[in-house]
Structure 1
Amino acid sequence: MNTTIVIADDHPLMLRGLTDFLTSKGFNIIGSAEDGKTAYNLIVKLKPTIAILDIRMPYKTGLEIAEDCKRNELGTKVILITFDKEEELYDKAVEYGVYGYILKEFAIEEIETCISQVVIGKPYFSEEIASYLKSSTLENKPETLDLLTKSELRIVKLIAENKTSQDIADELSISIRTVDKHRSNIVHKLKLDNRPTSLSIWATLNKDFL
């Protein structure tokens, strides 16, 4: 599949740096913008596979674009890049179905891995932001883990290892239908929403307790 990408950042050097780097790696950059309004219009018009967006931009923030993409079911997977570590911004990103969340200081090092994960439907969040959130909000084992059966805990652990439903089915010698049933039960018990990324993100942030 040809992965198409739109990039938006109101810092020209960051925009040029990411565009040049990804182009040199063979990625198909089909559009770029220095403000959120232009970026969203490009997404609507060009329907890229992935949109790499700065969170803070004039006219429309990366989060607002992600929210609009989700509400209008555009299908483009959003990756946010930012200097911010605020928990509120991260929570909004998860709420709006963002697939990737990268800190700008690690953007060049992580963007290829992030894209490779996101394009196959797996969320990717900078280890730095995951570590920060763990230290600030997840110091204790989540009580909701006690609601899960041993089988469900095993599946959550495999999800935290970025295993697909097919991988899990093969490893546990069960059908994908059974895996999906377990995933549905886990989402219900943990009171997560049904977005594809929600359980993966939860499992990643809680993997030290599994």
Structure 2
Amino acid sequence: MTPSIIIADDHPLMLRGMSDFLTSKGFDIVGSAQDGNAAYNLIVKLKPEIAILDIRMPHKTGLEIAEACKKNNLPTKVILITFDKEEELFDQAKAFNVYGYILKEFAVEEIETCISHVIKGEPYFSEEIASYLNINNHSQRPKNLDLLTKSELKIVKLVAENKTSQDIANELSISIRTVDKHRSNAINKLELDDKPTSLGIWANNHKTFL
């Protein structure tokens, strides 16, 4: 089955071109918008599997929409299309769980590949932006990540935020002993060295996939 998709761009020609191109390739375009508020409203209403968003739009930017989706636990995976190569914007995109980051000049060439990765839960970044920012543009999730339980994955995400076991215990209202048990299980499943710093180093190096 093809994923349901909405597209948002404040440039009508870009919006129409992307919509027509993806429709011709058999993708299910369920909605489109020319500003950020309209795009976010479509995401809330339609809950598409993927939202392809211009990073700079009136009323709400693509980043602000991604932040709102993360805050409100919306299931839609966000792909940003942009001319920007600034590392700060890319770091914000990763922090807001953006799955795809494509440069506009390569959008048509890369969007199909990007969608095919994103629908499988695999982040994808334009090769040029990956090279420019010295990012390892993995096409596969890290080994054994899918073996983690929801609780273990939640712990690993918090470890990636440099939180201590005490911080995590307080935030999740569980005991430190439970936190340490989940950490130990994650270390074993990810086949990491049994060292105090091993999980923290791994989590920080793989934030994109968490």
Task: Give the TM-score of the pair, scaled to structure 2.
Answer: 0.71
Match of 2:113 in 1: 113
RMSD: 3.0
Structure 2 distance, partners of 1:64, 1:72, is 12
Which amino acid is 1:26 matched to? Answer: G
Q: Are 1:162 and 2:140 counterparts?
A: yes
Structure 1 distance, partners of 2:47, 2:25, is 21
Aligned residues: 169
Structure 1 distance, partners of 2:109, 2:69, is 27
Match of 2:207 in 1: 198
Match of 1:78 in 2: 78
The 5 Å alignment of 1:55-74 reads 55-74=55-74
Structure 2 distance, partners of 1:112, 1:177, is 35
Match of 2:54 in 1: 54
Which amino acid is 1:189 matched to? Answer: I
Cα displacement string for residues 138-182 of structure 1 (whole angstroms, at most 9, x for unaligned residues): 8xxxxxxxxxxxxxxxxxx9x94525646999xxxxxx9954464
Gaps of 5+ in 1: 139-156, 170-175, 202-210
Match of 2:200 in 1: 188
CA separation of 1:191 and 1:167: change in aligned 2, threshold 3 A: closer
Structure 1 distance, partners of 2:76, 2:57, is 19
What is the Cα deviation at residue 2 of structure 1? 4.1
Q: Percent identity between the aligned chains?
A: 62
Structure 2 residue matching 1:192: 3-state secondary structure: helix
Structure 2 distance, partners of 1:55, 1:26, is 25
Cα displacement string for residues 18-59 of structure 1 (whole angstroms, at most 9, x for unaligned residues): 000000000000000000000000000000000000000000
Gaps of 5+ in 2: 148-185
What is the Cα deviation at residue 189 of structure 1? 2.1
What is the Cα deviation at residue 13 of structure 1? 0.6
Match of 1:153 in 2: none
Which amino acid is 1:98 matched to? Answer: V
Larger Rg: 2
CA separation of 1:188 and 1:59: change in aligned 2, threshold 3 A: same
Which amino acid is 1:78 matched to? Answer: V
Match of 1:142 in 2: none
Task: Give the TM-score of the pair, scaled to structure 1.
Answer: 0.71
